[in-house]
Amino acid sequence: MARQLRHHYAGGWYHITSRGMGRRAIFRDDRDREHFVELLSMMAGRYGVILHAYVLMDNHYHLLIETPEANASRALQWLNLSHSMWFKTRHSHAGPVFQARFKSIPVEGEGSWALACGVCIHLNPVRVKAPGQGKEDIKRERAGFLPEEPPKEQVRARLARLRGYRWSSYRAYAGYASPPEWLTCATLWGRCCPPGKNPKTEYRRCLEDYLRRGVEEGAFVRITAAVAIGGTAFVEGLRKRVPKRARGETNARAWRRILPFGEIVRAVESVKGLEWSGFADRRGDWGRDMALHFGRMRCGLTLKELGEQAGGLGVPAVAKAAERMAVRLKTDRALQRSAARVLRILETKKV
pLDDT digits (tens, 9 = 90+) for 190-230: 999 888 899 999 999 988 887 776 544 333 334 444 578 88
Residues 35 and 172 in one domain: yes
Residues 91 and 208 in one domain: yes
201: CATH: 3.30.70.1290
Q: pLDDT for 86-143, tens place per residue?
A: 999 999 999 999 998 899 999 998 888 899 899 989 999 987 443 344 555 555 555 5
| Cβ atoms of 351 and 273 closer than 8 Å | no
Residue 64 pLDDT > 90: yes
pTM of the model: 0.68
State which residues form the domain around 285: 259-347
Q: Is 233 contained in some domain?
A: no
pLDDT of residue 248: 47
Q: Is 2 contained in some domain?
A: no
The total number of structural domains in the chain stands at: 2
| Domain end (from 153, 187, 213) | 213
SS3 244: coil
Determine whether 153 is exposed, middle or buried from the number of CB atoms within 10 Å of its CB (0-12, 13-18, 19+). Answer: exposed
Residues 114 and 179 in one domain: yes
> In the 8-state DSSP scheme, what is residue 29?
S
Q: Show Cβ contacts of residue 156 under 8 Å, excluding neighbours closer than 6 positions.
A: none
Q: What mean pLDDT do residues 19-44 have?
A: 96
Q: Is 221 contained in some domain?
A: no
pLDDT of residue 222: 46
pLDDT of residue 253: 54
Q: Is 244 contained in some domain?
A: no
| Cβ atoms of 229 and 222 closer than 8 Å | yes
Residues 163 and 21 in one domain: yes
Residues 263 and 209 in one domain: no
Q: Show Cβ contacts of residue 185 under 8 Å, excluding neighbours closer than 6 positions.
A: 52, 169, 172, 173, 179, 199
336: CATH: 1.10.1750.10
Confidence of residue 152 (pLDDT cuts 50, 70, 90): confident
Confidence of residue 350 (pLDDT cuts 50, 70, 90): very low
Q: Is 58 contained in some domain?
A: yes
Q: pLDDT for 285-330, tens place per residue?
A: 999 999 998 888 777 677 788 899 999 998 888 888 988 998 898 8
Determine whether 22 is exposed, middle or buried from the number of CB atoms within 10 Å of its CB (0-12, 13-18, 19+). Answer: exposed
Residues 104 and 25 in one domain: yes
| Domain end (from 180, 195, 213) | 213
> In the 8-state DSSP scheme, what is residue 63?
E
Q: How far apart, in whole angstroms, are the C-alpha atoms of residue 318 and residue 299?
A: 14
Q: How far apart, in whole angstroms, are the C-alpha atoms of residue 57 and residue 33?
A: 9
Residues 208 and 282 in one domain: no
